[in-house]
């Protein structure tokens, strides 16, 4: 079977999932089977096939599993969001369509994605500028104590970190391509450990400062971990020096420890993370209510979950039991309704997608492509880690989105552009000489 | 009354999902197995060297320094950091605007402009029939020429110096 036919076949399960999921939600809601779920499944299949035909024409050699994996995640997201709020699901579907248009646009515009290297300084400056926007008075807004979004009232809400991560990866891939040899060869060895030369290491230090700055100014632990982790992954691939990663991790650990113990608002977040069941913190504003209830929701799921539409999200009296179920907490809702097996399936889907990304990096012939694929995959993986880790209380919770599943326009659009870039790299890598 | 249908749908959903994941994982595994056999593996190894990624990985910081390591230092080239170095792997390297080891972002460079090849400790540069020519110490190359430390190679506006 050719690669593209495998991709087409892989889209079938995604549309089956939409159909089964919507049917399950309908039954729970109105106690009736209706063929509307079939319509949704067919519509979703139609959209995916349109995208598939587009890939077939423009990128015939691209990885055949990436797009079906994304389609499965998106179908998961649509079902869960529909279950939480049908209006949001319609908006999410519209965002998905817009995302697919931009996905196609990216592929057409950057057929030779190495052209991006020419604009690397513009790209990185715009990315950093976007990151600062949420802190500006008037348009920025805070959610849960973190400055994550930009809102122009009545027009749109937008999370700049989603777009910035792609920009930073492009810049780092291009920069490290040029300097990696110098980083390795210009280094001095002290006590058997290669230390990088300071001049070329400068921009890397800037990114470290950026990660810490995001943490202090925006209180955004998630993006901070995501950007810094992505940087270390790319640095390791570019130089193959474990010592750089160890030094980087130590620097981050010291930074996080200092900020976590000395800056009050970050310290408060650490406290709610460590003691979510403390009654004092539980009832405090911006306290541990959300994290604690997410833990109960996940425990209620058991092995196979309670079934579609059965998780308790609101209190009988009308209050919310699980705040922000469609964005931050969607992973908890998935675990509640589909159990450990459902949640594990979601994580495996992400894992397989990231594995395809790294595989693409291995196949790529030039360093820029390798670094780009590694960076994009690592950022994607870290984003999943940050939010799932937050919900399962491995790390303090920050409101980044669960890619393709959470409700959120900028997230789904930016991540589709990320997939488009990975497919572009993959198509070039698999092209015979 | 529809409860059994609901339960069936939930398990159906999970089964379809897991079958799909097994299918993807299985094909990924098949890729790996194929990679272990001779042909693809050798091909992959060759490609590693061609990217230069492998060279950077095993580059000679930790060696004693008297090894033969021919490299091109960037004197000026758009898109390249001045002072950075490209190692010439043992199977040689091509310079040009196309999909080659050392990519030149220069309107005067051809896709495959010039080739540097190694035979033992002799390093030879050769113009690959480019439109605008390759200059060795400001003299146009006519045939293959051996390189010596300090030689300057110019293609369009890009200039490299050779070190070993």
Task: Please report residues of A whose CB lies closer than 8 A to that of B45.
Answer: none
Contact A187 B61 (CB under 8 A): yes
B20 touches chain A (CB under 8 A): yes
Model pLDDT, residue A212 = 72
Among B13, B52, B80, the residue with its CB nearest the CB of A17 is B13
| pLDDT tens track for A254-292 | 888 888 888 777 788 888 888 888 888 888 777 788 888
Which one, of A321, A334, A331, lies nearest residue A290 by Cα?
Answer: A321
A100 pLDDT band, cuts 50/70/90, is: very high
| pLDDT tens track for B148-160 | 787 888 888 888 8
* Average of per-residue pLDDT across B110-114: 86
Contact A356 B14 (CB under 8 A): no
Residue B36 in this model has a pLDDT that exceeds 50: no
Top-confidence residue, A62 or B97: A62
DSSP three-state, residue A368: helix
Residue B98 in this model has a pLDDT that exceeds 50: yes
Q: Please tell me whether the interface predicted TM-score (ipTM) of this complex is above 0.95.
A: no
B37 pLDDT band, cuts 50/70/90, is: very low
Among B13, B44, B85, the residue with its CB nearest the CB of A181 is B85
Task: Please report residues of B whose CB lies closer than 8 A to that of A189.
Answer: 61-62
Model pLDDT, residue A147 = 66
* Average of per-residue pLDDT across A160-181: 85
Task: Please report residues of B whose CB lies closer than 8 A to that of A365.
Answer: 47, 50-51, 99
Contact A345 B18 (CB under 8 A): yes
DSSP three-state, residue A85: coil
Phi first, then psi: give them for residue B161, nearest 5 degrees. -120, 145
Structure-token pair, residue A245? 């990663």
DSSP three-state, residue A15: helix
Separation CA B108–CA B111 (nearest Å): 10
The Cα of B13 is separated from the nearest Cα of chain A by a number of Å equal to: 6
Task: Please report residues of B whose CB lies closer than 8 A to that of A33.
Answer: 2, 5
**What residues does A188 pair with on adjacent strands?**
A195
Structure-token pair, residue A298? 């996940």
Which one, of A137, A140, A393, A385, lies nearest residue A269 by Cα?
Answer: A393
A115 contacts A107 by C-beta, under 8 angstroms: no
* Average of per-residue pLDDT across B68-83: 80
pTM of the model: 0.77
| pLDDT tens track for A220-254 | 777 888 888 898 899 888 887 787 788 888 888 88
Neighbours of B39 (CB within 10 A): 9
Name, in order, each residue with C-beta under 8 angstroms of A426's C-beta and a sequence gap of 6 or more.
Answer: A59, A61, A62, A63, A66, A356, A360, A363, A373
Contact A349 B5 (CB under 8 A): no
Structure-token pair, residue A47? 């959209």
Residue A29 in this model has a pLDDT that exceeds 80: no
Name, in order, each residue with C-beta under 8 angstroms of B124's C-beta and a sequence gap of 6 or more.
Answer: B116, B117, B118, B144, B145, B146, B147
B63 pLDDT band, cuts 50/70/90, is: very low
Give contacts of A 16-75 with B, CB under 8 A.
Answer: 16-17, 20-21, 23-24, 27-28, 31-33, 65, 68-69, 72
Residue B2 in this model has a pLDDT that exceeds 80: no
Give contacts of A 108-127 with B, CB under 8 A.
Answer: 114, 117-118
A158 contacts A150 by C-beta, under 8 angstroms: yes
B112 touches chain A (CB under 8 A): no
Contact A342 B14 (CB under 8 A): yes
Point out the least confidently predicted range of A159-173, A187-201, A230-244, B76-90.
A187-201
Separation CA A219–CA A214 (nearest Å): 6
Top-confidence residue, A103 or A287: A103
**Distances, alpha carbon B5 to alpha carbons A273, B84, B102, B164, in Å:** 40, 66, 62, 74
| pLDDT tens track for A321-338 | 777 787 888 999 999 989
DSSP three-state, residue A86: helix
Which one, of B43, B90, B36, lies nearest residue A363 by Cα?
Answer: B43
Model pLDDT, residue B64 = 38
Contact A185 B51 (CB under 8 A): no
* Average of per-residue pLDDT across B3-20: 85
A391 contacts A136 by C-beta, under 8 angstroms: no
B83 touches chain A (CB under 8 A): yes
B164 touches chain A (CB under 8 A): no
B150 contacts B129 by C-beta, under 8 angstroms: no
Neighbours of B58 (CB within 10 A): 11
Residue A103 in this model has a pLDDT that exceeds 90: yes
């Amino acid at each position: 079977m050719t690669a593209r036919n495998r991709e087409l076949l892989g889209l079938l399960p995604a549309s089956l999932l939409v159909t089964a999921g919507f049917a399950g939600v309908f039954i729970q809601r109105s106690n009736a089977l209706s063929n509307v779920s079939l319509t949704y499944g067919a519509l979703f299949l139609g959209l995916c096939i349109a995208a598939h035909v587009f890939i077939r024409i423009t990128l015939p050699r691209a990885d055949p599993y990436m797009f079906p994996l994304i389609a499965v995640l998106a179908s998961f997201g649509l079902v869960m969001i529909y279950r939480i709020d049908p209006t949001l699901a319609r908006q999410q579907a519209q965002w998905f369509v817009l995302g697919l248009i931009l996905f196609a646009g990216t592929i057409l515009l950057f057929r030779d994605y190495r052209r991006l290297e020419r604009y690397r300084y513009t790209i990185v400056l715009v990315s950093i500028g976007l990151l600062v926007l949420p802190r500006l008075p008037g348009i920025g807004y805070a959610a849960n104590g973190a400055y994550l979004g930009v809102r122009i009232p009545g027009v749109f809400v937008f999370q700049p970190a989603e777009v910035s991560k792609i920009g930073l990866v492009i810049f780092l891939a291009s920069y490290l391509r040029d300097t990696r040899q110098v980083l390795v060869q210009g280094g001095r060895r002290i006590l058997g450990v290669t230390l990088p030369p300071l001049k070329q290491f400068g921009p890397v230090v800037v990114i470290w400062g950026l990660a810490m700055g995001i943490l202090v100014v925006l209180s955004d632990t998630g993006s901070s971990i995501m950007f810094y982790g992505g940087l270390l992954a790319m640095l390791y691939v570019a130089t193959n020096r474990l010592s750089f990663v160890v030094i980087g991790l130590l620097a981050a650990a010291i930074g996080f420890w200092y900020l976590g113990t000395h800056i009050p608002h970050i310290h408060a977040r650490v406290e709610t993370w460590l003691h979510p069941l403390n009654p004092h913190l539980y009832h405090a504003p911006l306290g541990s209510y959300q994290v604690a209830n997410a833990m109960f929701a996940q425990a209620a799921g058991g092995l196979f979950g309670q079934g579609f539409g059965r998780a308790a999200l609101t209190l009988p009296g009308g209050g919310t039991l699980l705040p922000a179920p469609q964005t931050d907490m969607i992973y908890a809702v998935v675990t509640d309704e589909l159990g450990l097996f459902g949640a594990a399936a979601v994580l495996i889907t992400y894992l397989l997608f990231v594995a395809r990304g790294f595989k693409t990096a291995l196949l790529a012939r030039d360093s820029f492509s390798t670094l780009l694929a590694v960076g994009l995959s690592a950022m994607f993986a870290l984003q999943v880690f940050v939010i799932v880790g937050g919900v399962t209380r491995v790390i303090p919770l920050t409101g980044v989105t669960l890619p393709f599943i959470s409700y959120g326009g900028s997230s789904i659009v930016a991540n589709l552009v990320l997939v488009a870039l990975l497919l572009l790299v993959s198509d070039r890598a698999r092209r015979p000489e | 009354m529809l409860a059994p249908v609901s339960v069936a749908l939930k398990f159906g959903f999970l089964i379809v999902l897991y079958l799909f994941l097994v299918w993807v994982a299985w094909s990924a595994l098949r890729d790996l197995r194929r990679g272990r056999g001779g042909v693809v593996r050798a091909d992959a190894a060759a490609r590693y060297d061609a990217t230069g990624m492998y060279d950077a990985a095993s580059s000679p910081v930790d060696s004693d320094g008297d090894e033969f390591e021919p490299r091109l230092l960037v004197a000026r080239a758009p898109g390249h950091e001045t002072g950075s170095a490209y190692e010439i792997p043992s199977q040689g390297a091509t310079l040009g605007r196309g999909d080659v080891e050392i990519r030149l972002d220069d309107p005067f460079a051809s896709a495959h402009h010039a080739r540097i090849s190694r035979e033992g400790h002799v390093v030879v540069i050769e113009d690959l029939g480019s439109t605008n020519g390759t200059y060795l110490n400001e003299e146009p190359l006519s045939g293959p020429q051996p390189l010596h430390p300090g030689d300057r190679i110019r293609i369009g506006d890009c200039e490299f110096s050779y070190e070993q």
